[in-house]
Structure 1
Amino acid sequence: MRFTHPVNTLKKLGCGLAFGAAAIMAMPTSALACTQIYMGSQLTADGNTYYGRSEDFGPRYVKHFGIEPAHKDGSKYTSVESGFEYKSKGATYRYTFVRDNPSQWEDRYDAYSEAGINEKGVSCSATLSTSYNEKAEEADPVTEETGIGEYNYASVILGESATAREGVELLGNLIDEQGVCSNDQIIIADNNETWLFAALSGHQWIAMRLTDDIASLNPNIGNLTYDVDLDDTENCLHSEGIESMPKEKGFAEYTDGKFDVAKTYGEEISEAGMHQWSRYVQGRDYFMAPLAEGTDYEIVKDEREDARATTGALVHEMQPLFFTPGKSDWNTFEMIRSFAARGENVAGLNANTDGAYAIGSNRNTEIHTFQIRHGMDPEIATIQWEMLSNAEFSVAIPLYSALLTEVSPYFSDQDVSFDHCEEEDVVNNEEPKNSINYVLMDINTLAYENRDSCATGVRAYLDALQKELIEQNLTVDEAMQAAKDTEARTALANKAGKAATKNTYVKCKAMLEEMRDYLKEGDFSEEFVPSDYDADNDCLVESITYADEALSDEDVAEPEVEEEATEEKSEGNNMAAMAVGAIVIIGVCGFVLYRRKKA
């Protein structure tokens, strides 16, 4: 049976369709718009590996950070986007997730886990949609009958895998047996290895172990070139027919006598859209490995009435998936902010002045950056820096996700109303209470729509806040590494997560209210500057207390909840449980866990 869902269809249009340059005037403007980034440990100031992804779907689309508990009797995974089904072979692992609101997925709470870390320290970033060429599609089409896809990737990998390699092998086996319903790239990592997994066609796939001396940038382009040794099983895993199938079907491509995976399966150069290439050019410039206009690419105009941007780029020849950046001391702040790049220093492709589409667009819905300390205990090796809104005007919150069993109540759970996403007057209509999800969304809306008067001050303040979170997390991390056992680490992880989220919420909520007051007054003779921002010293007037609260003997203060609101929430949870049927909802410490009933 084939499953379809209107919201998922839109998601795939937003992040999963390529259009041809030759037919640019005839095709819709919805093009691939997510961006995946990797930076090896030899290229960073702290010797850590960084990777992550921005999801690009729409200007106001709420996402939810939460925890899926372990299931001792296993889980059965099913999908709305395809007929995929899989039953665990044993108990599953606890993991964090970033999911969509159930109202957008037929009231299902398991949709599109996207990013997280499980209790074994395995992290996953999903999904970067790509495209295959017509010959690959004809020979081995994707299947919505049984194929796994972005709805389930992260849930299956994190729920079932004790190592990154296990995750790669499991996903590969599922594609061998059931196929995929879309072409995608995923990153799976642990404290020792980082793997880039690519679903090439319906049943063909490849996974490459990423080295420490390279960087990677991919804005949804399926034919970025790479050289790989298919016989090196230590560093490359793949489907059995990756070369034999296209060779038999007559579309295998070879470069200098060697089988070329990207060229064989990836779309033609003319099929990658101008707004994908503009983001590739912007990203390469951000990482100080710029392409040259005229030599490497041309600036082109998108004159369609419904174009998402008016200016883009088209390259002269296919570009590499891996490259060497212009320096080797990238820091945490720079890696987090890379997802907000808007081509500020690229002549003709500056999204702020030239009408180009950007990596950091107003359509970002969620951005995650994983910081991996290789060789460290997997419980604490990976820090998840999580943004639940557009990257340009947002803050990434540090989370020790492998240990988390509790989530800050300032993260709105999946029962919060989706209605505020559709609010058009954000100045006069406030977001749901105590919601960092919606506070960041509203900040982005107001700063983006009032760029001339608000953008500079808001961005400067959020950058200062981000730097304080990074600096104070170093203090928290010292205590985390010194903690004597898993129990002590878990307690600290829960407390630190709550303290970081609360401090971020309090600062951002205060600024949002000042933005609303400024815009209501209507006097734009001076640009907006948050009262808590010290412009002379580029810092906060009053520092956050994240580290102090995380390491104190006192509990982190939680928001007051009105009794009436609590009763309404309980009723809503009961209704959700009745609607879903297969889900029991358990309230813990102001957040919600969703546990499947045992069959």
Structure 2
Amino acid sequence: MPCTTILVGKNASNNGSTLIARNDDNGTGRFDIKKFAVVLPSMQPSVYHSVLSHVEIPLPANPMRYTSVPNIEPEAKQRGLWAASGINAANVAMTATETITTNPRVLAADPLVEYVPAANGQPEKAGGIGEEDIVVLVLPYIQSAREGVKRLGMLLEQYGTYENNGIAFSDHDEIWYLETVGGHHWIARRLPDDCYSVIANEFSIDFFDLEDAVTTQKNFMASPDIQEFVEANHLNLSKGKFSARLAFGSHTDSDHVYNTPRVWYGQRYFNPSSFSASANDLVKGPASDTLAWCLQPENKITVEDVKYVLSSTYQGTPYSVFSGGPQSGLFRPIGINRTIFVSIAELRNDVPAPISAVEWIAFGSNVYNTIVPVYTNINTVPAYLSNTTMTVNTNNFYWSSRLIAALADAHHDQEIIYIERYQEVVDSKARALMLEGEKAFHAGDNAVDFCDAQNQKICAMVQKETDDLLYQVLFTASMLMKNGYARADN
């Protein structure tokens, strides 16, 4: 999946929360149909069956409840669930995955584990695990972000993977980011608490402490044999400190159009005094190959900042998709038409733990949608988020968001004022409902009932505001149809 990920440490966010976020972008020519769901322990299988790779994996007993953003039926039968992102009952979040790349030296030494169908009298050969599978295999069984890395690492070592991916984990204290290396190897790095990271479809971790990864594992973890793997296959290309990006990543000219500009724009937003807008700047411009994996932001980062960057079309630069200038559309935007949802997992440290986990959700192209805060300590999900159907209808958030985007994009300059008002109104009203409810929450209250009720209130407001916006966007688009005529004939 061609996605964009943002990680924000607890000392880099405005309220002391950890934030992990990802745009889930479809490949060209497909739009997965999604819903927001909660998976209760009774719904989790005891043996997992992968649709794409046909691998079967026995699962531990006693899974936890967790949220997810799966494909709906019958889409799930064709390609699997693709649970994508979620937060579990222990307030541990993960998002999976950021599709990344590696190089032929790595793949030759540790090939991907690909599915081989039955042929010529030979039985099929199961493949490894991939984006379709990872959330279901890991999230219900982990009590911390660090445990998430270790469980996924164990699964990769045992079953392998058929694709290269990056996966983020968070809890109230830590954020970890894992990248797969070939078919069975992996590395993971802890995000410093005062830093953020923007990741865009490339092997992104730069400095990596191999010694720490195989000893204390304070800030780095990896496959147990990672040092031997690097040495045996002459993967270390660094003259100084070991760079995982150089060792395990790839380098193509297309990165400078498709990938690095997205990282550059995010770093430009969070560190505006440090970054050039010139495509010719090979050190700090959009074509740079050396943009840092993480940086300290110039200011504290909010959920709204994360959403803004994940909606980016390079506004404020010569590369803006909507500018019409000579460099317009030069780079692949972050806020692309193929985004099917965005999730921002916020684990707050300034409210009671039972009501602290919130997953901000939006569907469709981020330029035209709005994020909705959803408490995740829940047993039910409001119908507006969960009742997505294969048939287009406006009774759910998924299809309403997709319709608004498709109508508004054709008349962006005329429609964007209504979109921006909608985004501000929904955000303000949702936060007001959260504040009002949380002030009335007491230690002895039933947290699950509270979170279920809060979500219903928020979604009722969002549905009304979204319906109103859809009416306005449809009206404006109708007035601007090419077969319009100004003569009054009523």
SS in 2 for 1:128: strand
Question: Counterpart amino acid of 2:170?
Answer: A
1:594 paired residue number: none
1:430-579 matches, cutoff 5 A: 432-480=393-441, 482-485=442-445, 488-522=446-480
Q: In the alignment, is residue 406 of structure 1 matched against residue 380 of structure 2?
A: yes
1:96-107 matches, cutoff 5 A: 96-106=67-77
Distance 1:232 1:269 in 2: 35
Distance 2:105 2:78 in 1: 38
Distance 2:155 2:61 in 1: 16
**1:117 paired residue among 87, 90, 97:** 87
1:246 paired residue number: 230
Question: Counterpart amino acid of 1:34?
Answer: C
* Equivalent residue pairs, number: 458
Tell me the CA shift for residue 478 of structure 1.
3.1
Distance 1:206 1:350 in 2: 35
Tell me the CA shift for residue 412 of structure 1.
4.1
1:529 paired residue number: none
1:130 paired residue number: 100
Distance 1:155 1:377, change over 3 A: farther
Distance 1:321 1:127, change over 3 A: same
SS in 2 for 1:175: helix
Distance 1:478 1:132 in 2: 49
Distance 1:502 1:107, change over 3 A: farther
1:226-245 matches, cutoff 5 A: 226-228=207-209, 229-230=212-213, 231-245=215-229
Q: Percent identity?
A: 21
**2:337 paired residue among 343, 362, 375:** 362
Distance 1:411 1:232 in 2: 43
Tell me the CA shift for residue 163 of structure 1.
2.5
Tell me the CA shift for residue 115 of structure 1.
0.8
2:258 paired residue number: 275
Distance 1:519 1:65, change over 3 A: same
2:48 paired residue number: 77
1:41 paired residue number: 10
Tell me the CA shift for residue 202 of structure 1.
0.9
- CA distances 1:15-74 after superposition (whole Å, capped 9, x unpaired): 3xxxxxxxxxxxxxxxxx310001222222222222200011168543110111103996
Task: Indicate conservation of the 8 Å contact 2:17/2:172, yes or no.
Answer: no
Distance 1:523 1:365 in 2: 27
Question: Counterpart amino acid of 2:229?
Answer: M
- TM-score (norm. length: structure 2): 0.87
Distance 1:434 1:73 in 2: 28
Question: Counterpart amino acid of 1:135?
Answer: R
Distance 1:146 1:522 in 2: 51
Q: In the alignment, is residue 320 of structure 1 matched against residue 289 of structure 2?
A: no
Question: Counterpart amino acid of 2:235?
Answer: F
Task: Indicate conservation of the 8 Å contact 2:208/2:242, yes or no.
Answer: no
Q: In the alignment, is residue 296 of structure 1 matched against residue 282 of structure 2?
A: yes
Tell me the CA shift for residue 134 of structure 1.
0.9
Runs of 5+ in structure 1 lacking a partner? Answer: 1-14, 16-32, 300-312, 421-431, 525-599
Task: Indicate conservation of the 8 Å contact 1:71/1:93, yes or no.
Answer: no
Deviates more, 1:244-253 or 1:207-216: 244-253
Tell me the CA shift for residue 368 of structure 1.
0.7
Distance 1:507 1:160, change over 3 A: same
Task: Indicate conservation of the 8 Å contact 1:126/1:150, yes or no.
Answer: yes
Task: Indicate conservation of the 8 Å contact 2:347/2:358, yes or no.
Answer: yes
1:383 paired residue number: 358
Runs of 5+ in structure 2 lacking a partner? Answer: 115-125, 483-490
Task: Indicate conservation of the 8 Å contact 1:73/1:91, yes or no.
Answer: no
Distance 2:455 2:173 in 1: 24
- CA distances 1:282-327 after superposition (whole Å, capped 9, x unpaired): 212221345322333699xxxxxxxxxxxxx532x42211112222
1:573 paired residue number: none
Distance 2:104 2:191 in 1: 28
**1:95 paired residue among 56, 60, 66:** 66
- CA distances 1:222-261 after superposition (whole Å, capped 9, x unpaired): 14523434243132221012121131123333341x4332
Task: Indicate conservation of the 8 Å contact 1:73/1:90, yes or no.
Answer: no
Deviates more, 1:242-251 or 1:435-444: 242-251
Task: Indicate conservation of the 8 Å contact 1:187/1:195, yes or no.
Answer: yes
1:564 paired residue number: none
